[in-house]
């Protein structure tokens, strides 16, 4: 089956969510246009991913519903990889749980990990790839996200869970760029990974992406990260070009811009300062399926 055969068109009752699974209204007429899943399918096609990657999307949709899974296409060192994110803000009263998703994936994905469903997680994520669905490896890590109580803004903490135990990973802080730009700049500056005397705010807080709904600043173990949530298709295209994504990805968005202009997109970079300048270690863009 070709990529053209797999492309999906919007339906009247389609949901629209950000990468935090926060709902939004389409920013242009949506009838007869592309679903965000098409961007994910294009990366599968470009990477010649195992056909079972498409089947896994179908299995997950059956379990959690259409449009309730967030996908991330991550670009690092010239290589593209994928991560899937599952939210349920009811926490311990959740329906979309780790056992539910692992059970749905079981026809294609082996996993020996078990989860403690008494933990108040509101989201978890899984690294996905062809070798996983082909049975060449088992799923050996789950990223768990828990609220960060006491923060003045929406905030979360992520942990890595493996057979060896759990490990703290990252802290996330969410800001409204229209109201809290000064706080965003201060949060970026409060870092062990950059010298605020040598780095300008625009080196990290890119003006071309600030017309968005939310800016998230994250503190990770070896670098910091910034996400821009709710950018339009032209900003997505600018981001993909700046980050030098493979030309087939850029060309797909450019060619189908009119079919993608009703959607909002989420993008982010991992960065730190090296030799007096900002270095982007990894970038990613996000959607739902």
Q: What is the pLDDT of residues 240-271, one digit of tens each?
A: 999 999 999 999 999 999 999 999 999 999 99
Q: Say which residues have a Cβ less than 8 Å from residue 179's Cβ, sequence separation at least 6.
A: none
Q: Which domain holds residue 133?
A: 3-171+230-275+283-288
Per the domain annotation, does 207 fall within a domain? no
Give the CA distances from residue 85 to residues 4, 21, 47, 193, 286, in Å, rounded to whole numbers and listed in that order: 26, 9, 21, 27, 10
Q: Is 41 exposed, middle or buried (0-12, 13-18, 19+ CB in 10 A)?
A: buried
Per the domain annotation, does 213 fall within a domain? no
Per the domain annotation, does 86 fall within a domain? yes
Q: Which residue in 85, 96, 103, 100 sits closest to 40, CA to CA?
A: 85
Per the domain annotation, does 217 fall within a domain? no
Contact 141, 158 (CB under 8 A): no
pTM: predicted TM-score of the whole model, two decimal places: 0.97
Contact 214, 175 (CB under 8 A): yes
* 3 state SS of 81: strand
**pLDDT bucket at 183, cuts 50 / 70 / 90:** very high
Per the domain annotation, does 212 fall within a domain? no
Per the domain annotation, does 234 fall within a domain? yes
Contact 214, 20 (CB under 8 A): yes
Query: What average pLDDT does the segment 95-121 reach?
Result: 97
- Within 10 angstroms of residue 237's Cβ, the number of other Cβ atoms is 18
**pLDDT bucket at 152, cuts 50 / 70 / 90:** confident
Per the domain annotation, does 76 fall within a domain? yes
Tell me what pLDDT residue 252 has: 98
The yes-or-no verdict on residue 196 having pLDDT over 90 is no
Contact 54, 6 (CB under 8 A): yes
Tell me what pLDDT residue 19 has: 98
Per the domain annotation, does 159 fall within a domain? yes
| pLDDT tens digits, 200-214 | 889 999 999 999 999
Work out how many domains the chain is built from and give that number. 1
Tell me what pLDDT residue 226 has: 98
| pLDDT tens digits, 211-244 | 999 999 999 999 999 999 999 999 999 999 999 9
Tell me what pLDDT residue 151 has: 87
């Amino acid at each position: 089956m070709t990529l053209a055969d797999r492309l999906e068109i919007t339906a009247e009752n389609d949901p629209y969510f950000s990468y935090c699974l926060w709902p939004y209204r389409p920013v242009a007429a949506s009838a007869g246009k592309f679903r965000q899943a098409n961007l994910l399918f294009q990366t599968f096609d470009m990477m010649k991913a195992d056909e079972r990657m498409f089947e896994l999307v179908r299995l997950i949709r059956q379990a959690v519903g259409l449009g309730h899974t967030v996908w991330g296409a991550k670009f690092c060192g010239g290589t593209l990889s994928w991560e899937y994110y599952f939210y349920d803000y009811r926490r311990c009263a959740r329906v979309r749980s780790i056992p539910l998703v692992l059970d749905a994936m079981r026809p294609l994905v082996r996993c020996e990990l078990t989860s403690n469903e008494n933990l108040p997680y509101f989201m978890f994520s899984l690294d996905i790839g062809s070798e996983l669905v082909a049975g060449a490896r088992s799923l050996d890590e789950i990223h768990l996200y828990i609220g960060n109580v006491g923060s003045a803004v929406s905030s979360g903490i992520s942990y890595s869970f493996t057979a060896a135990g759990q490990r703290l990973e990252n802290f996330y802080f969410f800001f409204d760029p229209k109201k809290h730009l000064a706080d965003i700049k201060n949060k970026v500056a409060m870092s062990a990974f950059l010298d605020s005397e040598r780095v300008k705010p625009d080196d990290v807080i890119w003006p071309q992406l600030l017309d968005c709904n939310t800016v998230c600043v994250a503190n990770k173990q070896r670098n910091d990260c910034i996400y821009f949530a709710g950018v339009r298709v032209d900003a997505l295209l600018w981001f993909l070009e700046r980050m030098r994504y493979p030309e087939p990805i850029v060309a797909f968005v450019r060619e189908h811009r009119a079919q993608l202009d009703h959607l909002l997109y989420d993008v982010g970079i991992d960065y730190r300062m090296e030799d007096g300048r900002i270095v982007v270690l990894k970038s990613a863009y996000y959607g739902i399926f």
